[in-house]
């Protein structure tokens, strides 16, 4: 019985790590924002500096959501907060794609996506670290590699479109 319990525990740990890396990969896509500034500036007929301001708002939203995510986790649980962050990010990206003015861009790409990214980032990383208390540094590094992977993959794919 103890062997089955240990095997299930190890399986859960590995699935948590894999899920975290996949989620962090998706969340890391926001760090390629500069790839889209030129096209959005043209679409919105606005200076690139005003379009790029949305990334500053995104960063602010990320910081705020990261600060509040622990309280959200206590109230709603890791799974619900993470799924909510995914839905919020999808809505934010969809609204960004359909933005026709700077205010809509600021609200969608800046605020919504930033809040979603911050909550999702903190939930997945802290949950994964809890499952690997003996390897916190290694697990954090595996999770954070997503920034490089996501940015690289999206940069390459946008370059070929």
Digit-coded pLDDT (tens) for 34-83: 888 999 999 999 999 999 999 999 999 999 998 998 899 999 998 899 99
pTM, 2 dp: 0.83
Buried b (16+ CB within 10 A) or exposed e, 101-122: ebeebbbbbbbbbbbbbbbbbb
Provide the domain count of the chain: 1
Q: What is the mean pLDDT of residues 104-115?
A: 96
What is the pLDDT at residue 1? 47
Residue-wise pLDDT tens digits, 127-147: 888 888 898 888 778 777 766
120 part of a folded domain: yes
93: three-class secondary structure by DSSP: helix
67 part of a folded domain: yes
Q: How much of the chain, in percent, has pLDDT values that exceed 90?
A: 48
Query: What is the extent of the structural domain holding 150?
Result: 47-156
- In this structure, of 5-19, 92-106, 110-124, 147-161, the range with the lowest mean pLDDT score is 147-161
101 part of a folded domain: yes
145 part of a folded domain: yes
What is the pLDDT at residue 142? 74
Token pair, residue 101, equals: 């003015």
Does residue 2 have a pLDDT over 80? no
Query: HSE on the CB side for 136, CA within 13 Å?
Result: 3
């Amino acid at each position: 019985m103890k062997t089955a319990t240990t095997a299930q525990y190890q399986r859960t740990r590995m699935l948590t790590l894999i899920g975290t890396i996949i989620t962090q990969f998706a969340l890391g896509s926001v760090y390629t924002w500069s790839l889209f500034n030129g096209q959005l500036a043209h679409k919105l007929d606005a200076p690139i500096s005003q379009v790029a301001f949305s990334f500053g708002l995104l960063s602010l939203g990320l910081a705020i959501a990261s600060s509040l995510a622990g309280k959200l986790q206590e109230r709603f649980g890791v799974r619900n907060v993470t799924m909510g962050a995914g839905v919020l990010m999808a809505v934010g990206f969809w609204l960004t794609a359909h933005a026709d003015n700077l205010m809509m861009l600021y609200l969608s790409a800046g605020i919504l996506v930033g809040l979603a990214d911050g909550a999702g980032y903190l939930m997945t990383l802290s949950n994964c670290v809890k499952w690997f208390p003996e390897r916190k540094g290694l697990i954090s590094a595996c999770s954070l590699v997503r920034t490089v992977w996501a940015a690289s993959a999206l940069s390459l794919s946008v370059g070929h479109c």
